[in-house]
């Protein structure tokens, strides 16, 4: 995946920001987010803003940086009480000790969770669901898209046939360049933009390169919004591939766009302002396709904003991140959010490489322009060998990656160039190769990239191959001679449907375990996120590089960014069907009905290895919209339960107050159990195998609510993780009425490993507890991790 390149980009950008923050404001100032106890406002101050300004001035010793409009960047009052402001770390520390201040959290910068694998063309982005036939499903619900803004004129956002804007909607339609005041309608009911946090750190934005309005000049926000709630659009597009209908998951739900992501990234203080506005505006679901950070929940502005939203009854769905396939890469892991990984669909875009020696290597592409000459074999050249590298740079490494300026035009003209994956974007490599006069490109994974490939909309005929094919290709080229040069061609085969196996877990999809609280299995579930067709703004090229002058109404992207809005749209449908359900109940319905078998009736495999994936890859499984509508039982969670969970993470009361405005009294919670007793729809046990005990034990308490509509008798079946014993007590739950709650315990015993484990290593085993009444199957994954001590 592009994860190595993404990760690098992140480091570079953060580096720039930190340096910019220090040098730009002299005193080492940066942005801090401050949570206050709203009731503690001294009566001397007429408004909270007056109080906040005075507090910043006092903490800064009166010497804070002067900002247009005062020291405050944003004030928050709905999802969260407090403000953001620039100040020195010393001033922040002083402020943290001031009366009425609950927490001071340093700002971080986030990035979009897409892998930029675009393409033009037309097919369904997801199978149409019978749910949608039900005429008004989702029509009274509003989904907030916190992203890069939106293209309001796109056909996916027309409002024909929709009823009036729901009366509870209290939002606004902000306007500005490219986004006139009449841009909103009965579909796009609101739009706002938040740039104060971005500009406080990065300086005034360049208004040639980006616009101070909700208009999407990137494409990501338009794409994610249409996945969640785009209208039916037919035909979605053409350009060499099949035509089809494009539709979001909840085509009648309303959309509200909150633009927080800019050229320099998405800044926490702006994201929190968007959460705050969304809560005040009256949205039902928040969809957030930006990457997370690995810090405790009380330092994570997204976790904090999402908690406020959850308390207000809003479902928050977030992307798991694209840091896979390595372990411990999952982000946005707070238990009150739905953390969504990415899977494939049963659709593929084969573009195979046929070699002069007769071998055919599987590749994928959504290149849509003129093809290579039919039947002709072209000379193949590996960019990493001296024949391909420009003499001036003479740097085999940057040439192998096809970095800008690294290729010798004389050596590659008229040939197909093989480039290694990594460092620059996949589309940028295509452009480099195109500009030096090559006719085609094969993008080859290295060993560390594995077998995961993404179809891109390159500017020249190009395809992507996995690590094994890449190795064959490099060997074949290395064995060629001047007399017998390596030759090949790329065969574009269009769109294949009914591909087996599907779904598979996308290689890039971020994986568990949960780095913040291993007691909570993350990701929660997966949804389609590989090669997703959705709306694209008219002013942006599909390859996502500035020089791409092509224009298209739809585009294909990949990433957990694309998986998240599928779940956001489904959450809106579930909330429409079950208006009284809490955010936790909706998430429970999605998780306990998810499936783990693919269309070949085997456990879903991991794209990067082709071996069966497991709970740290797919969580509870792949989302199943139809079954989620009628889950039978749900695991409910109240905001107070989350506070008890935080107590059991041993957070201090001060830390807990950063997340929730509730006064935490942890004594009772700590007596009552452990963090694994949060009423979550999965069970995760972690043991340290210290060799002292032959077996290791724990137990979980869970409570399920009957939502199946009346009397029901459920029986438990257990699939115990290998080497473990799992006992459910009682084994039968007899419900007499709808809404009734019954509890059970699950005891997990793991035998100590027979062989001594490597220090620091761990073994993961998974199973499930399933409650069934003959009509519903309520699946609860059980994961047992046995860790060897570090020494």
Ligand X SMILES: *[C@@H]1O[C@H](CO)[C@@H](O)[C@H](O)[C@H]1NC(C)=O
Instruction: Please identify which of the residues 126, 561, 582, 682 carries the catalytic annotation.
Output: 561
Q: Does 671 bind ligand X (CB under 6 A)?
A: no
Residues 672-711 that bind ligand X (CB under 6 A): 675
Q: Is residue 474 a contact partner of residue 568, using CB atoms and an 8 Å limit?
A: no
Q: How far is the CB of 195 from ligand X (least distance, A)?
A: 15
Residues 589-648 that bind ligand X (CB under 6 A): 601
Q: How far is the CB of 595 from ligand X (least distance, A)?
A: 12
User: Active site includes 220?
Assistant: yes
Q: How far is the CB of 329 from ligand X (least distance, A)?
A: 21
CB closer to ligand X out of 650 and 663: 650
The DSSP letter of residue 167 is: T
CB closer to ligand X out of 250 and 675: 675
Collapse the DSSP code of 394 into the 3-class scheme (helix H, G, I; strand E, B; otherwise coil) and give the result.
Answer: coil
CB closer to ligand X out of 208 and 391: 208
CB closer to ligand X out of 88 and 770: 770
Q: Is residue 469 a contact partner of residue 363, using CB atoms and an 8 Å limit?
A: yes
159, two tokens: 């409002």
Instruction: Please identify which of the residues 220, 458, 622, 776 carries the catalytic annotation.
Output: 220
CB atoms under 10 Å from CB of 158, counted, come to 17
Give the residue from 564, 769, 558 showing the smallest Cα distance to 682. 769
User: Active site includes 147?
Assistant: yes
Q: Is residue 596 a contact partner of residue 603, using CB atoms and an 8 Å limit?
A: yes
The CA distance from 469 to 422, in Å, is: 16
Binding mask 551-590 for ligand X (x = CB under 6 A): ----------------------------------------
The CA distance from 261 to 205, in Å, is: 12
Give just the sign of the alpha carbon dihedral 512, 518, 519, 520.
negative
The CA distance from 769 to 700, in Å, is: 12
Site residue total, ligand X (CB under 6 A): 7
The region that residue 544 occupies, defined by phi over 0 for left and psi between -120 and 50 for alpha, beta otherwise, is: left
CB closer to ligand X out of 650 and 743: 650
CB closer to ligand X out of 584 and 646: 646
Binding mask 48-87 for ligand X (x = CB under 6 A): ----------------------------------------
Q: How far is the CB of 517 from ligand X (least distance, A)?
A: 7
CB closer to ligand X out of 183 and 698: 698
Please identify which residue in the block is written with the tokens 């040098």: 23
Q: How far is the CB of 265 from ligand X (least distance, A)?
A: 17
Q: How far is the CB of 776 from ligand X (least distance, A)?
A: 19
**Helix, strand, coil percentages in the chain from 3-state DSSP, rounded to 5:** 25, 25, 50
CB closer to ligand X out of 392 and 601: 601
Strands 82-87 and 338-343: unpaired
Q: How far is the CB of 644 from ligand X (least distance, A)?
A: 13
Give just the sign of the alpha carbon dihedral 469, 499, 605, 521.
positive
Q: What is the dihedral of CA 468, 472, 474, 478, to 10 degrees?
A: 150
Q: Does 650 bind ligand X (CB under 6 A)?
A: yes
Residues 192-231 that bind ligand X (CB under 6 A): 206, 208-209
Strands 378-382 and 440-444: unpaired
The DSSP letter of residue 448 is: G
User: Active site includes 561?
Assistant: yes
CB atoms under 10 Å from CB of 395, counted, come to 14
- Phi/psi of residue 579, nearest 5 degrees: -60, -20
Q: Which of 649, 683, 724, 783 binds ligand X (CB under 6 A)?
A: 649
CB closer to ligand X out of 600 and 734: 600
Instruction: Please identify which of the residues 74, 117, 125, 147 carries the catalytic annotation.
Output: 147
Residues 401-460 that bind ligand X (CB under 6 A): none
Please identify which residue in the block is written with the tokens 């039919």: 374
CB atoms under 10 Å from CB of 663, counted, come to 10
Longest dimension (CA), the chain: 89
CB atoms under 10 Å from CB of 723, counted, come to 16
Catalytically active residues, by annotation: 147, 220, 561
Q: List contacts with ligand X (CB under 6 A).
A: 206, 208-209, 601, 649-650, 675
């Amino acid at each position: 995946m592009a994860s190595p390149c993404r990760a690098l980009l992140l480091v570079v950008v953060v580096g720039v920001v930190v340096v910019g923050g220090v040098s730009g404001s002299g005193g080492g100032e940066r942005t801090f987010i401050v949570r206050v106890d709203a009731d503690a406002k001294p009566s001397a101050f007429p408004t909270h803003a007056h109080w906040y300004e005075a507090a910043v001035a006092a903490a800064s010793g009166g010497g804070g940086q002067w900002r247009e409009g005062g020291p405050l960047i944003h004030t928050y009052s709905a999802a969260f009480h407090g403000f953001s402001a620039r100040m020195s770390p010393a001033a922040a520390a002083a402020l943290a000790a001031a009366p009425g201040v609950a927490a001071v959290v340093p700002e971080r910068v986030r990035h979009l969770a897409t892998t930029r694998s675009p393409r033009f063309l037309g097919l369904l982005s997801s199978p149409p669901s019978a749910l949608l036939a039900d005429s008004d499903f989702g029509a009274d619900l509003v989904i907030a898209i916190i992203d890069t803004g939106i293209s309001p004129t796109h056909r996916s956002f027309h409002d024909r046939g929709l009823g009036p804007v729901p009366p509870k909607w209290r939002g606004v339609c902000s306007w500005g360049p490219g986004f006139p005041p009449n841009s909103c309608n009965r579909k796009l009911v609101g739009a706002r933009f938040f740039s104060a946090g971005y500009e406080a750190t990065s300086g005034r934005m360049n208004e040639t390169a980006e616009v101070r309005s909700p208009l999407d000049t990137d494409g990501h926000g338009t794409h994610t919004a249409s996945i969640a709630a785009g209208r039916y659009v037919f035909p979605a597009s053409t350009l060499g591939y099949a035509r089809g209908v494009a539709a979001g998951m909840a085509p009648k739900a309303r959309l509200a766009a909150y633009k927080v992501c800019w050229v320099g990234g998405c800044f926490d203080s702006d994201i929190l302002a968007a959460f705050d506005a969304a809560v005040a505006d009256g949205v039902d679901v928040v969809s957030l396709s930006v990457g997370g950070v690995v810090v405790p929940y009380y330092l994570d502005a997204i976790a904090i904003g999402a908690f406020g939203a959850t308390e207000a009854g809003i479902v928050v769905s977030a992307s798991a991140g694209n840091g896979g396939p390595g372990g411990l890469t999952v982000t946005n892991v707070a238990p009150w959010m739905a953390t969504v990984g990415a899977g494939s669909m049963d659709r593929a875009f084969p573009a195979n490489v046929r070699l002069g020696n007769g071998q055919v290597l599987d590749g994928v592409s959504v290149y849509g322009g003129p093809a290579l000459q039919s039947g002709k074999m072209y000379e193949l050249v590996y960019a990493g060998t001296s024949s391909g590298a420009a003499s001036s740079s003479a740097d085999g490494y940057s040439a192998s990656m096809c970095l800008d300026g690294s290729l010798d035009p004389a050596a590659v003209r008229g040939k197909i160039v093989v480039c290694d994956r990594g460092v620059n974007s996949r589309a940028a490599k295509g452009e480099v190769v195109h500009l030096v006069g090559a006719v085609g490109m094969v993008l080859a994974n290295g060993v560390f990239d594995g077998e995961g490939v993404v179809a891109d909309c390159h500017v020249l005929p190009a395809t992507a191959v996995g690590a094994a094919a890449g190795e064959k290709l490099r060997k074949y080229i290395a064995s060629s001679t001047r007399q017998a040069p390596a030759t090949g061609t790329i065969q574009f085969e269009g769109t294949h449907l009914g591909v087996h196996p599907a779904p598979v877990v996308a290689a890039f999809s971020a994986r568990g375990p949960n780095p913040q609280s291993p007691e909570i299995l993350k990701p929660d579930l997966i949804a389609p996120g590989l090669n997703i067709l959705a709306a694209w703004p008219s002013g942006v090229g599909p390859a996502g590089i500035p020089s791409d002058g092509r224009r298209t109404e739809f585009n294909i992207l990949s990433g957990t960014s694309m998986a998240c809005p599928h779940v956001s749209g489904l959450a809106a449908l579930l909330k429409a069907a079950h208006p009284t359900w809490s955010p936790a109940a909706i998430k429970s319905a999605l998780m306990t009905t998810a499936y783990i078998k693919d269309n070949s009736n085997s456990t879903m495999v991991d794209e990067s290895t082709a071996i069966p994936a497991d709970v740290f890859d797919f969580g509870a499984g792949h989302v199943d919209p139809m079954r989620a509508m009628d889950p039978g039982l749900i695991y409910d969670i109240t905001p107070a339960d989350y506070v008890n969970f935080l107590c059991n993470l041993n957070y201090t009361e001060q830390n807990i107050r950063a997340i929730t405005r509730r006064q935490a009294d942890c004594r009772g919670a700590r007596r009552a159990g452990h963090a694994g007793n949060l009423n979550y729809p999965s069970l995760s046990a972690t043991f340290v195998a210290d060799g002292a005990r032959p077996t290791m034990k724990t137990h979980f308490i869970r409570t399920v609510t009957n939502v199946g509509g009346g009397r029901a008798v459920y029986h438990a079946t257990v699939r115990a993780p290998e080497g473990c014993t799992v006992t459910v007590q009682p084994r039968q739950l007899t419900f007499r009425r709808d809404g009734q709650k019954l509890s059970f315990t699950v005891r997990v015993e793991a035998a100590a490993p027979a062989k001594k484990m490597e220090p620091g290593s761990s073994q993961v085993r998974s199973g499930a507890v399933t409650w069934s009444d003959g009509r519903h199957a309520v699946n609860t994954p059980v994961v047992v991790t046995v860790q060897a001590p570090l020494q």
